[in-house]
Amino acid sequence: MAAIERQDEGFKGVAFSRRTLIIGAPLALTACQTALVGLSNQPPLPDDEFDYELAYAAKEEDEFRIPAIDYKAFDRKFWRQVVDYDTRERAGTIVVDPYNNFLYWTLGRDRALRYGIGVGKAGFAWSGDAKVRVKRPWPIWRPPQEMIARRPELAKYWEEGYPRGPKNPLGARAMDLWQGSVDTLYRIHGTPEPSSIGRSVSSGCIRMWHQDVIDLYDRVPLHTKVVVLSEEASAKTA
């Protein structure tokens, strides 16, 4: 490509050799691979100059106000960041490690975008492979019947659902995981309880900060493969 640009623009400079182009090709390919993973117009990946203050600041979306995250109060490992990650999964795969409280979005070449997560009871109840079949912005939440049995006051939300908004148990986004035509009832979703990130909690599936679940939502297309690690598999990656 560089040689073509030189010919078109007619500038005088050092000629590009075949060897230079061949050596540069892997670098160009790496850049293309990263750019091709996920949806177009997605946010830039975090780098050494990433502005976390801005990333986790309060924001307005539709009629909702998303509160800022006091991210400095959490271990830095739970901040959104690109990390080394040895995996056989193809680039563009979501890997959920509920036992170490991480979610990875693989980028290829043993790199991944990692997010901190909070894991509810349902998050430990299922492991395996699935796909993102449904993506919901500002979803309505309906409590499962077993939760209503424990907390009858939630029955009022069964028919019409809990109203959309930052206080909704599913938060700003939800991604529903299916195996073929079967809903696993496993969800990757936001949370109105930011302090739950990095912890095991009593309810929910895979919780993320609002700002992080929006970021992931804006990257992954429908039918993205999701791998939820078992406790045994998680121990091997630790």
Q: What residues are annotated to the active site? A: 189, 205
Phi, psi of 38 (to 5 degrees): 85, -165
CA gap 69, 62 in Å, rounded: 19
Max Cα-Cα span within the chain: 78
CA distances from 188 to 4, 127, 191, 229 (A): 46, 13, 10, 14
DSSP 3-state of 192:
coil
Structure tokens at 227: 């791998």
| 64 sits in which H/E element | strand 64-66
Structure tokens at 217: 């939502």
CA gap 227, 238 in Å, rounded: 16
